[in-house]
Each structure stands twice: as structure tokens, then as C-alpha cells.
């Protein structure tokens, strides 16, 4: 099966002429045809353009001048603006928006020969942890609990990306991570994903949710696949004032580095009393694997990390309330008429945004409004600084932190939904690294008793992605996670 391969394998196969890029792309388009009606991972499939790109890739491969991702079919989160291709952010308000520009990250992937299969689903404006907040419908996780057909969520917000990769409807996908939106769905769908250091990938052309946290990253079938993709996606961009002018190292090479003498920190605050024994067991398993690989295990403390979530839910909505002000029905997007300009705004935004987006806009507006700025936003930014300092302190002692990625395995549609705070708790392990801007890699580590994937998270120093790839590869090897989801290209439906 062409769709069953990793990027590393496909790249070799293409160069050895075992199959063409066109065949590879068509195999994935077939998988989409077969699975998307059920999984709803793709919002837009660009089949014709993909085949054309694949044909171009074949020419390049034939000429011998083919960059790493030549002919590799990828799914693009519908938060990345793609030139001439509808970009919706999974929102009604952008349902007809066609950007006349290409985001820097997707431009980089195109430069390196990637084929884009289409735009994948997400929580509206990346706000959510279950991909239930999409104007174009929820995404179904291709994994099933043993003996059940319950609709499980793929995680969010990059749920479409995670589901597409897990179900082999794409070889890899772009995601964005604001509080865990790459790592948590990767864990729920049994794939690998990395949120790079803030500033590593350009934000230019990515629809903003929370500017000080948003970061693009790859989601793939292996650590090495993610390394290859990040190699292409990352890099300095003068168009993004927060992009950091730092050379992109050879991430793929880093995957084979030795771990001898490396120090792995285990943050005690992540051992919450409510942590499920299954997650706890996988975590301990991970510790043992790294010990076996020659690492030293060190207990560390991140005392302010428990405030990460509350801090996040002040800062992210505050920034979002301002970032989403541009969706007003004047220059692009959906417009709902009104007798006055004020009415037009209120109608357009009232009808164009979904409930969760509106809730976060209202919350963000509230915490920034007169009299509350100091009590909420300013205080949160100070606590954020303490969280950041916690990380910097432990990174004086250890190279990497090992934690679970999410507190549970994928949950079912309908669970966790009665209370927004309950839903927000899914991000509890991923948010602190977002607040500190440090990179985080999620790797599948095992299955729950119900047969659902469980993931472990590695957190590194700012711009310590190479170390994460090295440790992640070792863990991946030890875990030997070869399980496949129920709903799969070529699998039974």
C-alpha cells in the first residue's frame, strides 16, 4: 500500500522509481475519496492541483534535481492561507475566502516539492481541543475503542490534520499549536507532532488565534518524518517580526544522535492525583526506555506550571478578541447586511462565528476591558513570566523534560462538553510549554486498555528541537508503536 508508507520510505521509493509521485498522490486521493465522507478530515480537496503538482514532481525526480519533499502528498490545516485555494479557518465567516497569497510555511513546503492534497478541518479559528467546533462539522477519530463504534474526537485544534495522517489520507500534515493543538491531537490519533520553539516557523499567512503563542509545526507518522517536514517549514522570515533569525539545523541528522549522558527531567507537578493509572504506566515506561538508552533521570519541579491553564485562558482569548476584530464583513469573508455599519458588524460577526469563538471573544474582551486589564491580562503575563522562568531554571539542570501529552485518551463526542472548563483541561499538559515558548514533541507510546493510543511529550530548551528529535527517535524505537486505527485507507469500513 502506497498510503501505508512513511515519508522517508516514500522518498526512497520515488527516487528508486518504484512508483511515481502521481501514483502516490492518486493513492492518497483515493483514500480521501473513500474515507473523507465519514471522517470529515478535509474541508477542501484540491485533487486536480495535487495531480498537477505530482506530475511536476515526477519531472523533477527524473531530472535528479528534487528537494527532500518532492512528490510527498501532504494535508494543510485550513488555517494556512493558500494562494487561490479557499481558506476558511473552519469558520462561516471565512467560508468563501480565497487568499491571493501563500503563507510562508506552505511556500517553504512547495519550494521543497511537496504536493498539497487539500485543506484539513480544525476547530474554528483553532479554538478547541476536540475538533467539535468546526463550522464544517466535527472530525471523527479513525481510532475506535475495542469493540465499539462510538464517535471519538481526534483532538484539536489540528484534528483534521491528525485524523488525515492517522487514516493514511496524507503522508504528513501541517498543524498549528497555540496551547497544545498539534501535540494533543497527535496523541489522540497515535501519530507524532512537534510544536517548535515560538519564532522558529513564520506566522506570516497563518490565520492568527493568539499571536504570542501560535506556532506552526509538522504532524507525521514518525519522528524522522516530522524532522524532514520541519526542516522545510522552519526558517527566518523578515515578514514576521517575531520570527527568529537563526540557522535551521539538520533535524533529520539529529534523529540518530546518541543519548549517552543526557539528563531527562521528570516534573513532579505533572503527577496529579487524578492522572489515570494507564497514563501513569505509559509515562513510567517512557522513563525506563530513556534510562535504557543511557539517559540520567532527574526529578524536577516546575512550581508555577499548574497556573498555566488559567493563564492561557486569559492571554489567548484576550489576543484572539483583538485578532478576530478584522473579520467584519467589509473587505473579505461573509457579510450579513444591516441597516447601519454597527448592525452590519454585529450581524456578520454574530452569525459568522460559532459559539466557542464567540465565548472566547467575549471573554477576551472582558479581561481587557477598562478596570480589568491589571487584574487579569497583566497578572497573567506576570504569571507567564514565572512559568517561563521555571522552565529556564530546570533547563539549567536537565536537557529534556518527559511528561504525558494528554490526561486521557481520545474522548467521545458528547463527553466533557457540559462545562467549558472541563474541556479546557485536555490541554493541561501541553499549555505550560506554549506559555514558555519552548518546543514540545508528542510521540505515541502505547495503547490504553480500550485500545486507544496514548502519547508522551518531550519538552526542550528554546531552539532545542534537535535534542527533542534525538530523544524522540530513541523513544519511538523503544515503543515500537505499530498499531493502526480501525478506519484506514485500504482497511475495512
DSSP H or E segment with residue 267: strand 263-267
Nearer to another protein, 3 or 82 (CB): 82
CA–CA–CA angle 10, 14, 20 (5° rounding): 110
- Please say if 103 is a catalytic residue: no
Q: Which residue in the list 77, 119, 144, 195 is annotated as catalytic?
A: 77
State which of positions 37-66 bind another protein (CB under 8 A): none
Residues in the chain: 493
Q: Which residue in the list 107, 129, 134, 157 is annotated as catalytic?
A: 157
The DSSP annotation for 78-132 comes to TTB-BTTB---TT-GGGTT---SS--HHHHHHHHTT-EEEEEE--SGGG--SSS-
Task: Say how many CA atoms lie within 13 Å of 470 toward its Cβ.
Answer: 23
**Contact call for residue 207 and another protein (CB under 8 A):** yes
State which of positions 351-410 bind another protein (CB under 8 A): 351, 353, 358-359, 361-363, 365-370, 373, 376-386, 388
Nearer to another protein, 36 or 103 (CB): 103
Nearer to another protein, 145 or 385 (CB): 385
Output the smallest distance, CB 98 to another protein, in A: 7
**Contact call for residue 162 and another protein (CB under 8 A):** no
Asked if residue 430 lies in contact with residue 473, where contact means CB atoms within 8 angstroms, the answer is no
Nearer to another protein, 152 or 435 (CB): 435
144/39 Cα distance (integer angstroms): 12
Strand partners, 76: 119
State which of positions 417-476 bind another protein (CB under 8 A): 419-422, 424-425, 428-429, 435, 437, 462
Instruction: Select from 23-31, 61-69, 91-99, 178-186 the region that touches another protein (CB under 8 A).
Output: 91-99
State which of positions 271-330 bind another protein (CB under 8 A): 272-273, 304-307, 309-311, 313-314, 318-319, 321-322, 324-326, 328-330
- Measured in whole angstroms, the distance separating CA 4 from the mean position of its chain's CA atoms is 21
Strands 172-177 and 192-195: unpaired
- Please say if 212 is a catalytic residue: no
Q: Which of 345, 395, 411, 469 binds another protein (CB under 8 A)?
A: 345
Task: Say how many CA atoms lie within 13 Å of 215 toward its Cβ.
Answer: 33
Q: List, in order, residues 6 or more apart from 181 with CB less than 8 Å away.
A: 122, 123, 126, 129, 156, 157, 158, 175
Q: Binding string, 3-42, against another protein, x = CB under 8 A?
A: ----------------------------------------
Q: Kindly state the DSSP code that residue 378 receives in the 8-state scheme.
A: I
**Contact call for residue 173 and another protein (CB under 8 A):** no
**Residues catalogued as catalytic:** 77, 157, 181
Amino acid at each position: 500500500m502506497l498510503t501505508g508508507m512513511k515519508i522517508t520510505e516514500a522518498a526512497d521509493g520515488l527516487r528508486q522509481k518504484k512508483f511515481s509521485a502521481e501514483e502516490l498522490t492518486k493513492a492518497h486521493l483515493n483514500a480521501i475519496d473513500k474515507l473523507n465522507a465519514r471522517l470529515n478530515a478535509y474541508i477542501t480537496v484540491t485533487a486536480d492541483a495535487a495531480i498537477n503538482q505530482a506530475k511536476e514532481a515526477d519531472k523533477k525526480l527524473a531530472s535528479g534535481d528534487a528537494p527532500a519533499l518532492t512528490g510527498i502528498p501532504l494535508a494543510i490545516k485550513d488555517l494556512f492561507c493558500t494562494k487561490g485555494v479557499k481558506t476558511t479557518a473552519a469558520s462561516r465567516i471565512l467560508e468563501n475566502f480565497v487568499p491571493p497569497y501563500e503563507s510562508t510555511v506552505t511556500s517553504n513546503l512547495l519550494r521543497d516539492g511537496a504536493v498539497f492534497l487539500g485543506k484539513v478541518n480544525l476547530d474554528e479559528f483553532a479554538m478547541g481541543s476536540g475538533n467539535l467546533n468546526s463550522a464544517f462539522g466535527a472530525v471523527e477519530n479513525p481510532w475506535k475503542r475495542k469493540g465499539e463504534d462510538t464517535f471519538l474526537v481526534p483532538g484539536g485544534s489540528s484534528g483534521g490534520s491528525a485524523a488525515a495522517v492517522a487514516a493514511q489520507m496524507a503522508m504528513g500534515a501541517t498543524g498549528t499549536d497555540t496551547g497544545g493543538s498539534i501535540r494533543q491531537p497527535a496523541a489522540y490519533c497515535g501519530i507524532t507532532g512537534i510544536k517548535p520553539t515560538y519564532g522558529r516557523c513564520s506566522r506570516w499567512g497563518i490565520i492568527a488565534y493568539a499571536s504570542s503563542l501560535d506556532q506552526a509545526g509538522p504532524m507525521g507518522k514518525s519522528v524522522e518524518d516530522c524532522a524532514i517536514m520541519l526542516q522545510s517549514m522552519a526558517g527566518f522570515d523578515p515578514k514576521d517580526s517575531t520570527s527568529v533569525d537563526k540557522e535551521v539545523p539538520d533535524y533529520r541528522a539529529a534523529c540518530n544522535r546518541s543519548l549517552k549522558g543526557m539528563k531527562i527531567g521528570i516534573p513532579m507537578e505533572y503527577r496529579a492525583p487524578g492522572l489515570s493509572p494507564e497514563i501513569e504506566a505509559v509515562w513510567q515506561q517512557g522513563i525506563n526506555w530513556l534510562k535504557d538508552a543511557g539517559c540520567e533521570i532527574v526529578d524536577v519541579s516546575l512550581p508555577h506550571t499548574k497556573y498555566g491553564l488559567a493563564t492561557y485562558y486569559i492571554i489567548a482569548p484576550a489576543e484572539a478578541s483583538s485578532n478576530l476584530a478584522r473579520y467584519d464583513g467589509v473587505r473579505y469573508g461573509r457579510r450579513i447586511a444591516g441597516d447601519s455599519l454597527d448592525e452590519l458588524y454585529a450581524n456578520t460577526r454574530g452569525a459568522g462565528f460559532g459559539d466557542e469563538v464567540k465565548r472566547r471573544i467575549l471573554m477576551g474582551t472582558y479581561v481587557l476591558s477598562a478596570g480589568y486589564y491589571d487584574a487579569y491580562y497583566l497578572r497573567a503575563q506576570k504569571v507567564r513570566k514565572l512559568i517561563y522562568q521555571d522552565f529556564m531554571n530546570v533547563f539549567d539542570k536537565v536537557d529534556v523534560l518527559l511528561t504525558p501529552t494528554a490526561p486521557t485518551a481520545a474522548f467521545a463526542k458528547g463527553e466533557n462538553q457540559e462545562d467549558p472548563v472541563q474541556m479546557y483541561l485536555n490541554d493541561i499538559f501541553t499549555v505550560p510549554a506554549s506559555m514558555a515558548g519552548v518546543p514540545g514533541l508528542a510521540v505515541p507510546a502505547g495503547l490504553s486498555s480500550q485500545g486507544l493510543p496514548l502519547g508522551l511529550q518531550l519538552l526542550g530548551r528554546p531552539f532545542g528541537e534537535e535534542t527533542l528529535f534525538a530523544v524522540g527517535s530513541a523513544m519511538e524505537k523503544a515503543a515500537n508503536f505499530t498499531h493502526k486505527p480501525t478506519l484506514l485507507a485500504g482497511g475495512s469500513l
